[in-house]
Structure 1
Amino acid sequence: MQLNERSITNTPAQRTTRERIGLMVFGTDASAIVSTIVAAEKAGVQQVWVTQGTPEPDALTIFAAAAALTSNVRMGTAIIPTYPRHPLALAQQLLTLHDLAPGRVLVGIGPSQRPVIEGIFGIPIGAPLEHLREYVTVLRAILGEDNVDYHGRFYTVKTRLPRLPRTPILTSALRQGAFRLAGELADGALTWLCPVPYLLQDALPAMRAGAEEKGRLVPPLMAHIPVVFGQDRQTVRALVRTEFDSGRFFGRLSFYARMFADAGFPVASDGSWSDEFIDNMVVSGDEATIAARLRELLDQGLDELVVMPIPRTDPISQTRLIQLIGQL
């Protein structure tokens, strides 16, 4: 059964604004991240997201620790790279989390980036979209079928879990092919550094087309939204550029550069971002302005928001954002 057909939660119209806005938590200290998740739940945050950086503490192990100290907050990965982690190994971790925090975990997965997979892990990337398609197919089977006997291009799996921890599977997406794939077989799409107009005009239609082709409901799009507490436009832009290596790292990655161009914001020859790109990706202002803009983005058609403070590890910005989300 596709979890999408039950919906990850309820439809957007049935959920409150707070339920549709999650906090992204960053850090390299596992205990600090767990403490932030606990504090976020106490403040009223409904959903938190942790990315699996390399090499950084394991996100799902962090969730296991946080599960013992929380009771309601939902926890999602954004994302876990697929190439280094066999789908059966990931399924075993999700089984553990299902027992510790039933119904509270979402797993976001994706192929990650060539400098990480090939440069750090030494694993060659080939046909990343097809690899992701097969990975989701295998993972869903392990999580939802009594017996799995799968033989594919990338994986051969024969197994049976003691229990079926049906867990929503979300996929990362940058360009239209990945968004279409998410519409075809995932329980949601997770974005990163995508300007809002691109999400509304290109990503959502691609997801709808993929879902329509397979005769299934359109899964939700979880839009990554960087947030800066600040009124001065130049200061906001400078903070964003500093946070993302002046925009040059991602701008020099070919698949990101192509997405930026698709969105109408091509990078400069050195990979740097334009002011217009930052203005269309980042939400800034005081608490009232930011809250109003987040509500507006949901009203425009984005299903859920994954908001991230800039700077990512600034405790003051993080606390302000936790309080803002908890009061929506």
Structure 2
Amino acid sequence: MDHPPQRYGMTLPFSAPLADHPRIARDLAAAGYTDIWSCEVDGLDGFTPLTLAATGAPDAHLGTAIVSPFTRGPAVLAMTAAALAELAPGRFHLGIGSASRPIVHNWNATAFELPYERVRDTVRFLRSALAGERVAEQYETFAIDGFRLARPPQTPPPIYLAALREGMLRLAGREADGVILNWLSADDVKKVVPYVHEGGSGKEVVGRIFVCPTDDADAARTVCRRMITSYLNVPGYANYQRWLGRSEQLQPMWDAWAAGDRRRALAAVPDEVVDDLIVHGSPEECRAAIRRYVDNGVTVPVVMFVDPGLGTDPLDDALALAPTRG
């Protein structure tokens, strides 16, 4: 990569014990990673890995991509964000998103209702709460009766929204400081980003880019097909891919999945869809592919490491992808 992006991120945690993560964060920062982001699905929570990373990489930007306002109460979310903002002043970025019905309803016993409105209301609440204001407000999806942070952060963190289609993309541009994108190709970025910029220029565009660093294309596609069938059969992601124009390519997979034939669903994912949505290849090829996302409008590329299952060390693979290696 001749001209690496100004920001370049990696997603933690890795499979290593959490106690090793301050060292891992330090090694990533030394290799040129400016950002360390977390995710929250069914493994570890989104904040603990960042707390450890902050101790190992005291100059790195930190961010959640994402935590859901359905799985934490508004006040708890504000307090947790305030703690990270105090630990990493000016460097913590709070990424929130609705998540999905399986995560919210099936796993966290919470009704997944009015996701757009819940995200919007949470952004408005957090703006006030993180500024140290007393909040007594009836929002559309919840009410707050007299909450005030006892330790508001000196520097309130910027708030980014995970967004798929037009409505949430426009909300991110209008009311948040940036957007978090995933499950899209570099070319898709050109379709998606203009909706964000309708709310004004200068918004950060965080791209969570799935990267499987191996020259073994068959191994990469095997692993990535499992990811695609797991994610893109969730209705929100399926509708997103339809909107992006992949209906014809993915309909056989959706049909097989709906019929309960998981093996046929895996086989029905075309190579070109895998290659579009998940970066794989040599470190040089992966860096070049990440660069295409940046060229098309992503301002903060964040690698989401996909283990190819070949017994390699994730940290070694991550260091090989670092911008300083290009």
TM-score w.r.t. the length of structure 1 is: 0.84
Write out aligned runs for 1:100-119 (5 A).
100-119=87-106
Query: Is there any run of 5+ residues in structure 2 with no aligned partner, and where?
Result: 258-264
SS in 2 for 1:276: helix
Q: Aligned pair 1:259/2:235, yes or no? A: no
* AA partner of residue 318 (structure 2): L
CA pair 318-178 structure 1, distance change in 2 beyond 3 A: farther
- CA distance in structure 1 between the aligned counterparts of 2:285 and 2:180, rounded to whole angstroms: 25
CA distance in 1, matches of 2:171, 2:148: 27
- 2:41 counterpart of 1:53: yes
Which string of whole-angstrom CA distances, capped at 9 and with x for unpartnered residues, describes residues 41-87 of structure 1?
23231101111223x33332332233233321111111111102122
Matching of residues 48-87 of structure 1 within 5 Å:
48-54=36-42, 56-87=43-74
How much does 1:27 deviate? 4.2
Q: 1:102/1:315 Cα in 2 relative to 1: closer, same or farther (>3 Å)?
A: farther
Paired positions, count: 303
CA distance in 2, matches of 1:270, 1:195: 24
Give me the identity figure in percent.
24
* Maintained 8 Å contact 1:26/1:312: no
3-state DSSP of counterpart to 1:226: strand
Aligned with 2:159 (options 165, 169, 176): 169
Q: Residue in 1 aligned with 2:201?
A: 217
User: How does 1:101-180 map onto structure 2 within 5 Å?
Assistant: 101-157=88-144, 158-161=146-149, 162-164=151-153, 165-180=155-170
| Structure 1 unaligned residues grouped into runs of 5+ | 1-15
Matching residue within 235, 248, 268 for 2:229: 248
CA displacement at 1:317 relative to structure 2: 4.1
Preserved contact between residue 210 and residue 304 of structure 2 (Cα < 8 Å): yes
Q: Distance in 2 between matches of 1:34 and 1:40?
A: 10
Q: Does 1:324 align with 2:321?
A: yes
Distance 1:141 1:200, change over 3 A: same
Deviations, residues 306-326 of structure 1 (Å, cap 9, x unaligned) = 112221897624422234325
- String of CA shifts for 1:125-182, please: whole Å, max 9, x gaps: 1110111000111011111253322221223222333434410111111222221111
In structure 1, how many angstroms separate the alpha carbons of the residues matched to 2:321 and 2:231? 29
In the other structure, the counterpart of 1:10 is none
For structure 1, which segment, 282-291 or 30-39, has the greater mean C-alpha deviation from structure 2 after superposition?
30-39
Contact conserved, 1:228 with 1:236, CA < 8 A, in 2? yes
**SS of structure 1 residue aligned to 2:6:** helix
Could you tell me which amino acid in structure 1 is paired with residue 189 of structure 2?
Answer: L
Structure 1 SS opposite 2:56: coil
Residue number in structure 1 paired with 2:287: 291
One-letter amino acid matched to 1:236: A
| Match in the other structure for 2:262 | none
Contact kept, 8 Å, 2:96 with 2:160, in 1: the verdict is yes
Q: Aligned partners of 1:98, 1:301: CA distance in 2, in Å? A: 27
- 2:182 matched to 1:192? yes
Do the aligned partners of 2:4 and 2:323 also contact (CA within 8 Å) in 1? no
Cα deviations across residues 225-246 of structure 1 (Å, max 9, x unaligned)? 112223344333223124x1xx
Checking the alignment, whether the CA contact within 8 Å between 1:252 and 1:270 is kept in structure 2 is no
Contact 2:210/2:279 (<8 A) preserved: yes
Does the aligned pair in 1 maintain the 2:209–2:302 contact within 8 Å?
yes
Instruction: Please report the TM-score for the alignment, with normalisation by the length of structure 2.
Output: 0.84
Q: Which residue of 2 aligns with 1:274?
A: 270
> 1:205: which partner in 2?
194
Find the aligned partners of 1:315 and 1:52 in 2 and give their Cα distance: 24
Looking at structure 2, the residues matched to 205 and 62 of structure 1 have their Cα atoms a distance apart, in angstroms, of: 32
1:229 paired with 2:213, answer: yes
Residue 18 of structure 1: how far off its partner (Å): 4.5
State how far apart, in whole Å, the 2-side matches of 1:230 and 1:238 are: 12
Cα distance, 1:224 vs structure 2: 1.7
